[in-house]
Copies of this chain bind each other. A is one copy, B any other.
Amino acid sequence: MSGRPKIFDDGEVLSKAAEIFWRQGYEATSTEDLLAAMGIGKGSFYLAFKGGKKELYEKALAQHSDQAIAQFRRELDAAVDPVDYIREFFRRVAQSTKTRHQKGCIFGNAVAELSNVENPMMKRAATHLQGLEALFLDALLRGKQKGTLHSKLPPPLLARLLLNNWNGLGITRRIYPDNEALSELIETQLKILG
């Protein structure tokens, strides 16, 4: 039977937590920061997330990953040309605000910050990036089918190259948060698609 009603939605507080973790990193974020951002108190927090900050980070990353992957897949499915969608995906980076550039890639940040590979949080981030690579590969194979992918390189290798470009951009855009410079960089990188 349902007692006192929750004043928050799990998905929403996970989004808010993800935003703070994204901006500040895992270690630099205190639970107080998180509680303030989520707008809930300790009582509610530790009841919902008995594992504390760690569990919250994992779940926030997981939800963000699921949403991002789902959106990519949705947009890819809707795209006329899957290879063009990859181009579009990268070009969007060069259409961001400075604030967005400063955050980099939340999963790349996690991989860079978390040191040990056995860490579940690290694995979650690595898995997301491998998922992104898999989506690149899927798009490339569809392009091959459609005849819109002209590169002679094997699609799995191309996907790996795209992933590495993405990982690089997560760092480079923080150093050069300049859309024009990023656009030039991205356009040149996209030439490998043929």
Contacts and interface: CB of A to CB of B under 8 A. Distances in A.
B172 A163 contact: yes
A115 B33 CA distance: 15
A109 interface: yes
Contacts of A9: none
What copy number does this chain have within its complex?
A: 2
A113 B102 contact: no
Size bin of chain A's contact surface: 35 or more
B112 A113 contact: yes
29 contacts: A25-B115, A27-B113, A28-B115, A102-B116, A102-B117, A108-B112, A108-B171, A109-B113, A111-B171, A111-B174, A111-B175, A112-B112, A112-B170, A113-B113, A117-B174, A126-B174, A126-B175, A129-B175, A157-B184, A163-B168, A163-B172, A164-B185, A167-B168, A168-B168, A168-B169, A168-B171, A170-B171, A171-B171, A188-B192
